[in-house]
């Protein structure tokens, strides 16, 4: 369960005109860097740029002979990442890698990156703070916004279409499959009866009312349903499966794959893909159990509490 949290990236750096862009510390940063085993002059892929928090540290280690390829399907995130990566620290101004940024989903990596050309591939899955904290994007139930939830604004499917057009059975299936919500039928019924629903807060109220008789939980009653709709709208699991299929194609022998997930649906797919890759002789799995954030990191950054890191080496 990612509880509406996902990648949380970047150092605090000045934006245009001196305006501050306030981000969050990258989740499991040191662990990700260690497992990537970055070689100076190598080629690394950041499949989920976000605020470029992980990429910035990768770039520091690649040096001028190196190459960093970053993917993000959110053009707003890509622009912020570009500004961060265009400003190397003064001491590394002449020793910064070639940067290539791609405004596409990481499902396109197999088409955009040459076979066996990458020394490392990092994916920090889930929802970025940039997306969550902008009410106009419609990801959060804590602020009123439109039912959008698209990571890529060019996509056709929106949360409004899911909430207001799907039949009750299909909607219940989406909520159960992608949110692992045991009250999916009750919630779907309440949503259909409350149509039209136009805002995130209205949807959260409907879900909360449908869940009122259930035992109270640690998380907000709308969390799992919002997660389910977001995953369905953005085809997140389909994209993840495409990435997992492409990774062994683009990695060199000895190249490292590092994936940070935030809920069980993602983690199961990553675990199964790495195990199957090891069985087929494609990988050496480096993490028999997922790496999680330390108590100190969780204390500094609550978003890291559900993060799980898995890594493998291409053989």
**Residue ranges of domains in the chain:** 13-130+236-314, 158-234
SS3 170: helix
Cα dihedral 239, 241, 242, 244, rounded to 10, equals 120
pLDDT of amino acid 214: 55
pLDDT of amino acid 3: 41
Cβ atoms of residues 62 and 42 within 8 Å: yes
Of the candidates 222, 140, 231, 238, the residue with the CA atom closest to the CA atom of residue 184: 222
> Which DSSP state fits 147?
S
Beta bridge partners of 84: none
- What confidence tens digit (pLDDT) does each residue in 128-184 have? 877 888 999 999 999 999 999 999 999 999 999 999 999 999 999 999 999 999 999
pLDDT of amino acid 302: 87
pLDDT of amino acid 216: 56
Helices (H) and strands (E) in the chain, counts: 13, 9
CB count in 10 Å sphere of residue 209: 13
pLDDT of amino acid 24: 57
Q: With a cut of 70, which residues of the chain have pLDDT below it?
A: 1-24, 213-217
Please identify, in words, the CATH class of the domain defined by 13-130+236-314. Answer: alpha beta
CATH code of the domain made up of 158-234: 1.10.150.170
SS3 189: helix
pLDDT of amino acid 212: 77
Summarize the chain as % helix, strand, coil (round to 5).
Answer: 45, 15, 40
pLDDT of amino acid 133: 87
pLDDT of amino acid 127: 83
Cβ atoms of residues 243 and 123 within 8 Å: yes
């Amino acid at each position: 369960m990612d509880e509406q949290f996902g990648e949380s990236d970047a150092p605090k750096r000045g934006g245009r005109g001196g305006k501050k862009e306030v981000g969050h510390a990258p989740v499991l940063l040191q662990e990700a860097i260690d497992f990537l085993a970055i070689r100076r002059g190598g080629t690394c892929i950041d499949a989920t740029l976000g605020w470029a928090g992980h990429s910035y540290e990768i770039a520091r280690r690649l040096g001028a002979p190196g190459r960093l390829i970053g993917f993000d399907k959110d053009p707003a995130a890509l622009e912020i990442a570009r500004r961060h990566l265009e400003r190397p620290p003064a001491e590394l101004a002449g020793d910064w890698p070639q940067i290539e940024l791609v405004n596409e989903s990481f499902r396109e990596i197999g088409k955009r990156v040459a076979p066996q050309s990458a020394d490392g591939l990092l994916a920090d899955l889930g929802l970025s703070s940039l997306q969550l904290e902008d009410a106009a994007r419609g990801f959060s139930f804590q602020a009123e916004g439109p039912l959008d939830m698209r990571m890529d604004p060019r996509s056709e499917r929106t949360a409004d279409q899911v909430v207001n057009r799907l039949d009750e059975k299909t909607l219940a299936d989406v909520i159960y499959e992608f949110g692992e919500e045991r009250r999916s039928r009750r919630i779907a019924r309440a949503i259909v009866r409350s149509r039209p629903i136009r805002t995130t807060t209205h949807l959260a109220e409907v879900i909360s009312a449908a869940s009122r008789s259930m035992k109270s939980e640690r998380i907000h009653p709308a969390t799992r349903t919002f997660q389910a709709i977001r995953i369905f709208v953005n085809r997140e699991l389909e994209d993840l499966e495409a990435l997992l299929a492409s990774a062994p194609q683009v990695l060199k022998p000895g190249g490292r794959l590092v994936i940070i997930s935030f809920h069980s649906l993602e983690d199961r797919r990553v675990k199964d893909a790495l195990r199957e890759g090891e069985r087929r002789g494609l990988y050496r799995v480096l993490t028999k159990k997922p790496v999680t954030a330390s108590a100190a990191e969780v204390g500094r950054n609550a978003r890291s509490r559900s993060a799980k890191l898995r890594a493998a080496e291409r053989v």
